[in-house]
């Protein structure tokens, strides 16, 4: 996990360590650049000016971010002031994909009404052009989720023969699994027999970073991250209050021992983010492979809708991060049915694709 890739050496009161460049934000930026380039190349091949699709991509990207962030913050039940203050913090994650789908769809139709409709460009043709970019964008975006530590999967049970991933202290998974009581933050608990000064350690997890560093039951923590620890509550406040993003190590001073630096990690989880990345890469190849056999405009769009809906419904069964589970599962069912209905309508009344030997970029084609 790489929440912070690097820091730009610009030091201010707000950025005393430099300006952080977040992994999640970087992946969103890369996804936008790569997907816009791909859509532009595909537009030219279909006889549409690349600039039209490039402009449309900006509309969809911005509207998608607004929709994704709005749905996430709405689910948090925030006050209006909290909503407005937290809205710009997209680098923290907190983006619901189906919210971005709704926002992006609204952005698309706004652009279509203003630009594409007057030029008589068929909307389904444009969405077909964008379909592979959507799959590619989700694949890259989920790598950003992995780097941020959000959208994590369920705990891998000992009996399961599955690949697992362990997230560090700064990952959202740590807070959720600790809250549910599945793990401790640091690999140890506190003794009920506190001696009035420092935090007395109780049980230590056998395979934890704390155990490997030599921490044992009965040790007394007197400092953490350079701050005085008088009791377990003090350490809990240090761990849970504004823990720095990207910080994976915990500095401890134990009575009678040398200062220790440990790197706690959580339980092994299913890498649901990577599952979606791999699934979307397969969907990308499916769309590009089917395109030469496409007979009617809109078929790629219908395939994208149905395939993503099936993947998302199944992937939801493996995810464990806080999110509107029923909403996302229900939307997946709705999206699949909508794609199926669209495919039926296309087969009945869709525009037949006429293969051409060559095409030149143009701004008006394919009557609506």
pLDDT in tens, 50-75: 999 999 999 999 999 899 888 888 87
342/301 Cα distance (integer angstroms)? 9
Where does residue 88 rank: exposed (0-12), middle (13-18), buried (19+ CB within 10 A)?
A: exposed
DSSP per-residue letters across 118-136: TTT--HHHHHHHHHHHHHH
Token pair belonging to 216: 């044992």
Dihedral sign computed on CA atoms, order 66, 69, 75, 79: negative
Q: Are residues 285 and 244 in the same domain?
A: no
The answer on 25 and 85 residing in a single domain is yes
User: What pLDDT does residue 368 have?
Assistant: 40
Mean pLDDT over 277-297 rounds to 96
Pick the last residue of a domain from 262, 296, 317. 262
For 221, the domain range is 172-262
| CATH value at residue 180 | 2.30.42.10
Tell whether the model's pLDDT for residue 106 goes beyond 50.
yes
Q: Which pLDDT does position 364 carry in this prediction?
A: 46
Question: At residue 367, does pLDDT exceed 60?
Answer: no
Q: Is the dihedral of CA 152, 153, 155, 157 positive or negative?
A: negative
In a domain, 356, yes or no: no
Choose from 175-184, 260-269, 321-330 the range with maximum mean pLDDT: 260-269
Is residue 365 scored above 70 in pLDDT? no
Q: Is 216 inside any structural domain? A: yes
Is the pLDDT confidence value at 107 over 50? yes
Residue 311 belongs to a domain: yes
Lowest mean pLDDT segment, chosen from 139-148, 271-280, 310-319, 355-364: 355-364
| Final residue in a domain of this structure, among 195, 229, 262 | 262
State yes or no: pLDDT of 45 exceeds 70.
yes
Q: How many domains does the chain have?
A: 2
Instruction: Judge whether 105 lies within some domain.
Output: yes
Quick check: 174 pLDDT over 70? yes
In whole angstroms, give the CA distance from residue 266 to residue 242. 18
pLDDT tens-digit profile of 122-164?
999 999 999 999 999 999 999 999 999 888 999 998 888 888 9
Identify the bridge partners of residue 220 per DSSP, sorted by sequence position.
200
Answer yes or no: do 38 and 127 share one domain: yes
Please report whether residue 267 resides in a domain: no
**C-alpha to C-alpha distances, 308 to 113, 199, 245, 246, 321, nearest whole angstrom:** 27, 49, 31, 31, 20
3-state helix, strand, coil in the chain (%, to 5): 50, 10, 35
Check whether 90 has a pLDDT greater than 90: no
If asked whether residues 200 and 288 sit together in one domain, one would say no
φ, ψ of residue 35 in degrees (nearest 5): -70, -35
Which tens digits make up the pLDDT trace of 200-209? 999 999 889 9
Torsion of CA 164, 170, 171, 174, to 10 degrees: 80
Supply the pLDDT for residue 241.
Answer: 66
Entry pTM: 0.87
Shared domain check, 281 and 218 = no
Statement to judge: residues 229 and 123 lie in one domain = no
pLDDT at 192: 87
On whether both 145 and 294 belong to a single domain, the answer is yes
Q: Which of 21-30, 240-249, 328-337 has the lowest mean pLDDT?
A: 240-249
pLDDT at res. 359: 46
Average pLDDT over residues 308-329: 87
Element (H, E) at 66: helix 50-75
Domain assignment of residue 367, yes or no: no
112 Cβ partners below 8 Å, 6+ apart? 123, 126
Q: Domain for residue 359, yes or no?
A: no
Mean pLDDT of 167-188: 89
Supply the mean pLDDT for the chain: 89
Structure tokens belonging to residue 311: 């993947």
Residue 148: what are its φ and ψ, rounded to 5°? -80, -25
Same structural domain, 145 and 291: yes
pLDDT at 361 over 60: no
**Nearest of 20, 11, 88, 8 to residue 246 by alpha carbon:** 20
Q: Is it the case that residue 318 has pLDDT exceeding 50?
A: yes
Q: Are residues 79 and 99 in the same domain?
A: yes
> Which of 232, 262, 292 lies at the terminal end of a domain, its last residue?
262
Whether residue 282 contacts residue 329, with contact meaning beta carbons closer than 8 Å, is answered with no
- Give the side-chain half-sphere CA count within 13 A for 136: 20
Same domain for 106 and 236: no
**Which position has the higher pLDDT, 33 or 328?**
33
Quick one: what percent of the chain has pLDDT higher than 90?
55
88 and 43 assigned to the same domain: yes
């Amino acid at each position: 996990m790489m929440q912070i890739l690097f820091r730009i050496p610009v030091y201010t009161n707000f950025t005393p360590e430099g300006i952080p460049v977040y992994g999640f934000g970087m992946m969103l930026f890369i996804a936008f650049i790569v997907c816009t380039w791909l859509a532009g190349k595909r537009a030219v091949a279909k006889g549409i000016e690349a600039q039209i699709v490039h402009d449309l991509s900006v509309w969809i990207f911005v509207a998608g971010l607004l929709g994704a962030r709005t749905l996430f913050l709405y689910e948090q039940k925030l006050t209006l002031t909290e909503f407005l203050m937290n809205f710009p913090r997209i680098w923290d994650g907190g983006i619901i994909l189906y919210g971005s789908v709704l926002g992006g769809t609204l952005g698309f139709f706004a652009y279509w009404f203003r630009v594409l409709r007057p030029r008589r460009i068929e909307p389904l043709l444009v969405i077909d052009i964008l379909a592979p970019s959507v799959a590619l964008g989700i694949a890259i975006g989920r790598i950003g989720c992995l780097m941020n530590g959000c959208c994590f999967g369920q705990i891998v049970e000992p009996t399961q023969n599955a690949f697992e991933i362990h997230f560090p202290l700064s990952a959202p998974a740590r807070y959720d699994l600790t809250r549910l009581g599945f793990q401790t933050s640091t690999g140890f608990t506190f003794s009920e027999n506190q001696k009035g000064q420092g935090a007395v350690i109780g049980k230590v997890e056998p395979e934890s970073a704390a155990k490997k560093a030599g921490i044992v039951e009965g040790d007394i923590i007197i400092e953490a991250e350079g701050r005085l620890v008088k009791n377990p509550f003090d350490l809990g406040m240090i761990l849970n209050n504004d823990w720095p993003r990207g910080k994976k190590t915990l500095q401890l001073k134990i009575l009678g021992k040398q200062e220790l630096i440990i790197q706690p990690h959580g339980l092994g989880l299913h890498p649901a983010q990577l599952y979606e990345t791999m699934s979307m890469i397969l969907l990308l190849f499916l769309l590009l492979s089917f395109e030469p056999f496409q007979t009617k405009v809109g078929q790629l769009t219908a395939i994208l809708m149905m395939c993503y809906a099936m993947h998302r419904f199944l992937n939801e069964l493996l995810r464990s991060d806080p999110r509107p589970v029923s909403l996302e599962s229900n939307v997946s069912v709705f999206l699949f049915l909508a794609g199926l209905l669209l495919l039926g309508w296309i087969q009945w009344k869709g525009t037949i694709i006429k293969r051409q030997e060559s095409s030149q970029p143009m701004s008006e084609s394919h009557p609506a």
